[in-house]
Amino acid sequence: MKDIKSSKRRNLWFEGFMAITATVNLGLVLFDLSYVPWRDFYLRKLPEIIKIYDPIKGIEAHQDTKSYLEKVDALEKQVNQTGLQSPQVNSRLEEIRRLSSEMIDSNPFAGVNKSGTLEKIKNRMRDRIGKESAKQSFATFWSQPYLTQNGWDQENNFFNQRIRPLIASNYYRQIGESGEFVDDFWMIDLPFVILFGIELLGHTFLIRREHPGFSWLEAVLWRWYDLFLLLPFWRTLRIIPVLVRLDQAQLLNLHSVRKQVNQGIVANFAEELTEIVVVRVINQVQGSIQQGELTRWLSQQENLRPYIDINNVNEVEAIAGLLVKTIVYQVLPEIQPAIVAILRHNIETVFHQVSVYRNLQNLPGVGHAQTQLSEQLATQITTNLYKTLLSAVEDPVGAKLTSQLVQSFSDALGSQIKEKHVLSEIQSLLFDFLEEIKLNYVQRLSQEDIDQIIEQTRQLRTQRSVLAVVDKSTVPKIRQG
């Protein structure tokens, strides 16, 4: 027992380790997918990540925007060395004005879908200068008169805080021979894929050893969710095996989630399944009617699909006999007082309708005698009828005559039903009746609250579990007693 517990504990530790490893891999996948859209955020908040991860995504600085910022840095140094009004600064400002115009015309941001960044740069420069043209705004901004009038330090700080980060966010992404952007994330993902592949092979081997009848494919599909960990595409689907593994390793409780998923699946299929089953049964009955099986049954003729009798007993006659005995021996004795009361009431009503009896009512004692007479008549009639029924059931001759009566009635009814016009009308009415059931009641079945039914089923399972626990808890007490 201790060996089994220790083995389960080691297996749980291994499952926990692999679940954490799969979670780390999923985190890297999500980071890789978010890196390009969120690169501007990483550039502002975590620039160290940019230096490490840009080469993996084939990202490098764009030469045009990099050269532009380098020219601005050279301008800052020149201003510090020779002052703003020097010819060297004027020469550098002229070059930056030219580069600004080229940047607006060539739009180096378009290659990585960052044209919106260029528009943001142009709008900020327009707002700063107050002109409609972005080119004229840049030309004015990078001029000695404007920088002298508004102050070099103030305008340089504006550029470094509001314009430089936007220009610096531009980049160039290498394109491979396949025509797609270079992406070397597979180099990071490959060790994880190899590890998960080895683990899947190990699980497959163990499953085949425990279930020799399984093929290799069936053993692999036993843990189908692990296949998502091996796919080099659709990597976001790895969230499925990660959640399953965390639940199996008892690191995450997904019982309520599984219950809701199962309930949703059942609710989606229950409505259609109900309609399909009921409609198919009705269609089979309608098909039998159209094929004339009702006629052959009434004629008691053999057909291509004969009626199968499993016990050599006419169940209809047996049920009828059982119902008759139940009514005679159990039901009628219980309701006899009520029958007597009804008969007495009817007898008294008849007496009151006779004019001679109404005149005799005025004589003393007649009213009381009438009540006794009515009760005696009602009791006598009920008793005689019950005895007649009892003798008909118990007396062999009476039972035989009753059986002959039922048989004659059945034969007469059957012979009349066999008439073509009657049988045709019955078949037509039955067919239409079944069609109305499909249109009315089947729709009600599908509209029934499936969620409520599932909840009732869940409550029943819970009650059965509680009862099972109670039964187990009472077993020792019974044995001790």
Cβ-Cβ contacts under 8 Å for 462 (sequence gap 6 or more): none
Assess contact for 190 and 231: CB atoms under 8 A. no
What are the start-end ranges of the H helices in 169-238? 185-210, 216-222
**C-alpha angle 401/331/373, rounded to 5°?**
85
CA separation for the pair 90, 92 (Å, rounded): 5
The pLDDT of residue 261 is 67
CA distances from 114 to 38, 40, 60, 236 (A): 12, 11, 15, 25
Q: Which two tokens stand for residue 189?
A: 């993902």
The sign of the CA dihedral 244, 248, 251, 255 is positive
- DSSP assignment of 411-429, as one string? HHHHHHHTSHHHHHHHHHH
Phi, psi values for residue 61, rounded to 5°:
-65, 140
pLDDT digit string (tens) for the chain, length 481 residues = 555 555 566 678 888 999 999 999 999 999 999 999 999 999 999 999 999 999 999 999 999 999 999 999 999 999 999 999 999 999 999 999 999 999 999 999 999 999 999 999 999 999 999 999 999 999 999 999 999 999 999 999 999 999 999 999 999 999 988 888 999 999 999 999 999 999 999 999 998 998 888 888 888 888 899 999 999 989 999 999 999 999 888 888 877 776 666 666 666 666 566 666 666 677 777 776 677 665 665 555 444 445 555 666 666 566 766 777 777 777 778 887 887 787 777 776 766 665 555 555 555 554 555 566 667 777 777 777 777 767 666 667 666 666 666 666 666 656 665 555 666 777 777 777 777 776 665 555 555 555 566 666 667 667 766 776 666 555 444 433 3
The pLDDT value given to residue 301:
44
Q: Where are the alpha helices (DSSP H) in 252-329?
A: 255-290, 293-299, 315-326
**Could you tell me the two tokens for 458?**
């869940």
Q: Which of 129, 60, 79 is nearest to 100 (CA)?
A: 129
Backbone angles phi, psi at 142, to 5 degrees: -90, 60
Quick check: helix, strand or coil at residue 181? Answer: strand
State residue 306's pLDDT score: 53
Structural element, H or E, at residue 61: strand 59-61
59 sits in which H/E element: strand 59-61
| Closest C-alpha to 158, from 190, 125, 110, 186 | 125
Q: Which residues contact 441 (CB under 8 A, 6 or more apart)?
A: none
Beta pairing class for 171-173 and 59-61? antiparallel
Block residue for tokens 């229950």: 270
Of all residues in the chain, what percent are helix, strand and coil, respectively (each to 5)? 80, 0, 15
For helices 366-394 and 332-353, the axis angle rounded to 10 degrees is 140
Q: How far apart are CA 229 and CA 247, in angstroms?
A: 16
Output the pLDDT for position 173.
93
CB 37 within 8 A of CB 151: no
Q: Rg (Cα) of the chain, in Å, rounded?
A: 47
Contact 136, 101 (CB under 8 A): no
Task: Kindly state the tokens that stand for 221.
Answer: 């599909």
Please, are residues 235 and 9 in contact by the beta-carbon 8 Å criterion? no
Q: Amino acid identity, residue 83? A: G
